[in-house]
Amino acid sequence: METHAIARNVGHPPRKVRRVTDAIRGRRVSEALAILKFLPNAPAQDVYTTLASAAANAENNYTMDPDALWVKNAITDEGMKIRRFRARSHGRTSRILRRSSHITIIVTDDPADIPQRARRAAQRRPGHVG
């Protein structure tokens, strides 16, 4: 059985959030929460709350054991862009794009559901980001 949690319009660019979500894909939820707690990256806090929400959804809605959960997939999509302008020389302007992202985390209680590619990647880089 699997369940998920989604955080929308998180104020970090998707490129930076993907570095964090790649670090937790294919791991146990307890191990992933420990990794996220000590990562120096700014998006780690938002990914931490989304993962904790997915684990709470599994525990409360489907009565799954939170210690037996695995991160099946962690997806980061591009969210809304806020367009700003900065004054430049000679009366011109340049565009600034403030990017946001959507974070989707899927957890499962069956480790056989995790793709082999994600499991091998989690074993190869313990706690590595980037």
* pLDDT digits 0-9 by tens, 96-113: 999 999 999 999 998 887
Mean pLDDT, residues 31-56 taken together: 96
% of the chain beyond a pLDDT of 70:
93
* Tokens matching residue 114: 């995790």
Element spanning 32, H or E: helix 29-38
Q: What is the pLDDT of residue 70?
A: 95
Query: Where do the structural domains in the chain lie, given as residue ranges?
Result: 2-124
Q: Are 103 and 50 in contact (CB under 8 A)?
A: yes
CA gap 40, 36 in Å, rounded: 9
Q: What is the pLDDT of residue 9?
A: 97
Class in CATH terms, 2-124: alpha beta
Q: Does residue 122 surpass a pLDDT of 80?
A: no
Q: What is the pLDDT of residue 84?
A: 95
Look over the chain and give the mean of its residue pLDDT values, rounded to a whole number. 92
pTM: predicted TM-score of the whole model, two decimal places:
0.87
Q: Does residue 41 surpass a pLDDT of 80?
A: yes
